[in-house]
Amino acid sequence: MKEKTRLVVAVAGITFADMLMFIQLGFESALFDAAIKPHRNLQADLVLINPQLQTLFSVKSFSRERLYQTLAYDGVESVNSVYISTGQWRNPETRLERAILVWGIDPAKPAFKSPETKQHQHYLKQLYQVLFDQAGRPEYGAVGDIFKKTGNFETELNNKAISVKALFTDGASFAADGNVITSDSTFLQIFPERKPDRIEVGLITLKPDADPEKVRSQLAAGLPNDVKVLIPETFAQIERQYWETGTAIGFIFGLGTTVGFIVGIVIVYQILYSDVSEHMPEYATLKAMGYGDRYLLVVLLQEALFLAVLGYMPAFFLSVGLYQLTYTATMLPLAMKLERAIHVLILTIIMCSFSGAIAMRKLRAADPADVF
């Protein structure tokens, strides 16, 4: 506390390093959560997909016949099908087109858990009427603002005139900058090259007393190997794993976190080294009194831990503010999670302790003769 300026510099350095780790880990988590949000929103106990499907960015279809075959198994109550494809949305103001993820569903059956979608799903019964994702990119146009003022929004999707009849909230992801939900009939009109009997996701609803894992095992054993039966969360993790390990995204965010960790080590080491250098006579006196290197190491580690806690606290609160600001600007599902807070705290303690252990080399050179 005597060297207040040095303390402020040390805390600021640790805060910067912690914020860098918080931002990297937070953005990584938010982007992955956004990528799997549609999967978790599916109204199903089990899902049926093509075994080659890895991401919604490049969907693979399978025969609808396989979905109907599941009705013959005990525990299966009902089934529903979902079409997925990427279409071209035209901004009516700029006339520019932008890719958007299109979901085709049966208007008479709930396909999503979202209350917004369930409430407005009846609009889809009429041809060329759609639900629009208001959390999509602004390049699609001021759809939300115009719709809230006029109650309608008309544009083109794959050169077909469509009308927005309601809004829902999902958000941009790696797979698409936005989403639009249509009826299965409208979907096949927008994508005339698509075959009606080829679907992307089959939704299976089980009876209340059915065991999902038991039914899944029976379906996996009984159905041909051209389909895969999964619980919705496993389906979501396939998407996450693709973006985390199948692309450079996971490596990039991991590298950013590592850089923040290394920056923190360097900053804390410089602070502790300078502090040790200025107090060499005091440390030499302690050695002359009989205190060993282990005691001096404990002193340094205590100082490092104090710095770790003092630097972590402002980083935590500043990161919470940045998360909220980012969420407001981008609608990414970015929020502070307990496991991330604990993770960064542990990394901070390790970072500062490691720096203290390195600075200990300077203390070993403290000679009691320096006092005299």
Residue 369 is predicted with a pLDDT of 66
Give mean pLDDT, residues 232-247. Answer: 88
Whether residue 103 contacts residue 181, with contact meaning beta carbons closer than 8 Å, is answered with yes
Please name the amino acid found at residue 69: Q
Instruction: Output b/e per residue, 52-75; b: 16+ Cβ within 10 A.
Output: ebbbbbebebbbbebbebbeeeeb
d(CA 258, CA 260): 5
Residue 367 is predicted with a pLDDT of 66
Coil vs helix vs strand at 27: helix
What's the first-to-final CA gap in the chain, in angstroms?
27
Instruction: Output b/e per residue, 322-356; b: 16+ Cβ within 10 A.
Output: bbeebeeebbbbbebeeebbeebbebbbebbbbbb
Give mean pLDDT, residues 148-160. Answer: 92
- Structure token digits, residue 366: 């403290």
Res. 247 pLDDT band, cuts 50 70 90: confident
Element (H, E) at 120: helix 115-120
What is the overall mean pLDDT for the chain?
88
Question: Which residue shows structure tokens 């104090």?
Answer: 306
Q: Which residue did the predictor score with more confidence, 349 or 275?
A: 349
Give mean pLDDT, residues 356-363. Answer: 79
Rg of the chain taking only CA atoms, in angstroms: 29
Has residue 368 got a pLDDT over 80?
A: no
Res. 54 pLDDT band, cuts 50 70 90: confident
DSSP letters spanning 262-288? HHHHHHHHHHHHHHHHHTHHHHHHHHH
Residue 267 is predicted with a pLDDT of 85
pLDDT per residue as tens digits for the range 159-209: 999 999 999 988 777 777 889 999 999 999 999 999 999 999 999 999 998
Residue 253 is predicted with a pLDDT of 84
> Lowest mean pLDDT: which of 103-107, 303-307, 321-325?
303-307
Which residue pairs from 119-122 have beta carbons closer than 8 angstroms and sit at least 24 positions apart in sequence?
119/166, 120/165, 120/166, 120/168
Going by the DSSP 8-state scheme, the letter that residue 55 receives in this structure is: B
Pairing of strands 153-157, 97-105: unpaired
**Predicted TM-score of the model (pTM):** 0.79
pLDDT per residue as tens digits for the range 311-331: 999 999 999 999 998 888 777
pLDDT per residue as tens digits for the range 209-237: 899 999 999 999 999 999 999 999 999 99
Has residue 41 got a pLDDT over 80?
A: yes
d(CA 50, CA 67): 11
Residue 372 is predicted with a pLDDT of 53
Res. 371 pLDDT band, cuts 50 70 90: low
Coil vs helix vs strand at 328: helix
d(CA 356, CA 350): 10
